[in-house]
Structure 1
Amino acid sequence: MVNHLTRRVRSTLVRQAERITGTHIIPRGSLWAVPEREHLKAFFAHFDVDCVFDVGANEGQFADILRRKVGYRGPILSFEPIPDVAARLRAKAAADDLWFVEEFALADEVGARTFNIMADTQFSSLGNPKHDEVRLFEATNHVAQSITVKLSTVKAMLETYRKRLKFARPYLKMDTQGHDLAVVRGAGDDLRGFVGLQSELAIRKLYDTSVDFRDAITAYERAGFALSALVPNNEGHFPTLVEMDCIMYNTNYAALA
């Protein structure tokens, strides 16, 4: 109880100090998260994003950022294939009428496939872990269990949810541990219906399916997207840069850029 009250008092004092000084107070160790959320605030407002596809949602960390830090209030479609993780995610989303959870891995086909659950579920992937480029994650990024999961595609889910939610300017967020390009292939021509996309870029490859960050950006550019920002997606592993996210906008909306 004391710790809870202390956090509430601290949070209240921080909000008051921010209002008085017109500044943001950033907790120690959280500076890395600021570029992503501040850019997303501007991006979502500028391009009038009205739905988010959260692919590889894990336990809803990105949805939490959207609701608590970005201020986005529209529909979120979270895709998470691990049954017990998806169950926790559904429980978290239950109080949010515009947060939907689908127990699928999105890829480039509909069906089923073997999925590797890693020691730390955030590393779980359709691919196999590799450690020849960086050895930092050997304890957490190794296969603890393999299961069969259901596969679907962005194209199929877009058709289902567009009819239901009537959105027009969706945003595609991908964190699939080596399979983001497969997700994009599964969108087909419907990818051009997204105003923006966000993808994890492999500076050092952690999976046998990982694509070099330069090749990934080139593929997205060929699909009709242009870079808006490169942002950290974790606190980092100084001095080695392992990965980061790219945020890109659809060039069909270049007049708004």
Structure 2
Amino acid sequence: MGDPEPVRIVDIGANPIDDEPQYASLLATGLGRVVGFEPQREALARLQQLAGPHETYLPYAVGDGDTHELRICASDGFSSLLEPDPRQLDLLTDFPKLAQVVDREQVATVRLDDIEEIDGVDLLKMDVQGGELAVLEGGRERLRDCVAVQTEVGFHRLYEGAPTFGDVDRVLRELGLRPAAFVSVRTWPLAPTQWADSWEADARQLVEADLLYVRDLTTTADWTARQLNSLALIAHGVYRSVGITLRCLDQLTRAGDMPKDALAAYRALIGPSAG
């Protein structure tokens, strides 16, 4: 693929709950650089301590540009600018305890379109506990050329006024993006099921999922070479989506932006078992 420009990754809600982000291989090879945002001080400190040369982390809460109350919950992953909904949480084992608000603080949010430290977005990753629409609506200009979005979508409204899958899907489609894959699906036992119950696995409720959206693949003839290169790198290096990678390489060769043998070279790289 020659020497494409690094993928510009924006990670909103970069709290390092998992060991490393899915795009870590792009950072390690210099094929990607990330600007991450995390308003929780302890989580931000961990990110900055572990940051490599292609990582920048900032303390902003990304949203609609107004000041909001951040609810800090007993479990980091539940902290949100929205109030946890006790009636909904009561349906799920241990959720009332995990989402218990232990502190509150006022935070000023910034719109994605207004952040000067970002020079563009190729891949947007969001984990903002109900703040998805605020991020998307405040970033419509920056997201016009974005080729991929990974977002958490809720099927179970855990916060008062939070959007669910249909709400987020509608806005992403308005932005020219289409669902491509489930990255992960999370289920949880319905209360009063206990973790020790032998039937626990059969008592689970669909709660949320991480979904990958990509720019409408029927429009690739209108994309720039950078967009095609970026999505090819994202699809192969982050999500192992061979089909999307092949589509991008095919368009690059048709446009004369890549050697005609690029498809054959990629097929040889991934091996015959990849389909």
CA distance in 2, matches of 1:250, 1:209: 28
Q: Residue 159 of structure 2 aligns with which residue?
A: 207
Q: Residue 54 of structure 2 aligns with which residue?
A: 98
Q: Is the counterpart of residue 112 in structure 1 residue 77 in structure 2?
A: no
CA distance in 2, matches of 1:60, 1:138: 20
Q: CA deviation at 1:59?
A: 2.2
Between stretches 121-130 and 185-194, larger displacement belongs to: 185-194
Normalised to the residue count of structure 2, the TM-score between the two structures is 0.66
Q: Residue 12 of structure 2 aligns with which residue?
A: 55
Residues 1:149 and 1:138: Cα distance change in structure 2 (over 3 Å): same
8 Å CA contact 2:180–2:213 kept in 1: the answer is: yes
Q: CA deviation at 1:217?
A: 1.0
AA paired with 2:117?
A: T
- Counterparts of residues 237-252 of structure 1 (less than 5 Å): 237=189, 238=201, 239-251=204-216
Residues 1:60 and 1:52: Cα distance change in structure 2 (over 3 Å): farther
Residues 1:88 and 1:71: Cα distance change in structure 2 (over 3 Å): closer
Q: CA deviation at 1:114?
A: 1.5
| Unaligned 5+ runs, structure 2 | 190-200, 221-246, 249-275
CA distance in 2, matches of 1:118, 1:72: 36
From 73, 81, 86, give the equivalent of 1:126: 81
Pairwise CA RMSD of aligned residues?
A: 2.7
AA paired with 2:48?
A: R
CA distance in 2, matches of 1:72, 1:127: 37
Q: Is the counterpart of residue 189 in structure 1 residue 141 in structure 2?
A: yes
- Counterparts of residues 32-181 of structure 1 (less than 5 Å): 50-59=7-16, 61=18, 63-67=20-24, 73=30, 74-93=32-51, 96-109=52-65, 111-133=66-88, 134-136=91-93, 137-157=95-115, 159-162=116-119, 170-181=122-133
Q: Residue 217 of structure 1 aligns with which residue?
A: 169
Q: CA deviation at 1:147?
A: 1.1
1:197-245 alpha-carbon deviations (Å, 9 max, x no partner): 1111111111113212122212211221111112315575542110001
SS at match of 2:130: coil
AA paired with 2:40?
A: I
SS at match of 1:132: helix
CA distance in 1, matches of 2:19, 2:142: 23
Q: CA deviation at 1:85?
A: 1.8
How many residues are paired up? Answer: 202
CA distance in 2, matches of 1:219, 1:185: 8
Residues 1:229 and 1:252: Cα distance change in structure 2 (over 3 Å): closer
SS at match of 1:160: coil
8 Å CA contact 1:116–1:124 kept in 2: the answer is: yes
1:116-146 alpha-carbon deviations (Å, 9 max, x no partner): 1100111110001114333331111111100
8 Å CA contact 1:108–1:187 kept in 2: the answer is: no
Q: Residue 227 of structure 1 aligns with which residue?
A: 179
1:81-133 alpha-carbon deviations (Å, 9 max, x no partner): 0122211221121xx01110010110021x53211110011111000111433
| Unaligned 5+ runs, structure 1 | 1-46
Normalised to the residue count of structure 1, the TM-score between the two structures is 0.70
8 Å CA contact 1:49–1:171 kept in 2: the answer is: no
Residues 1:75 and 1:69: Cα distance change in structure 2 (over 3 Å): closer
Q: Which has the higher helix share?
A: 1
CA distance in 2, matches of 1:53, 1:230: 20
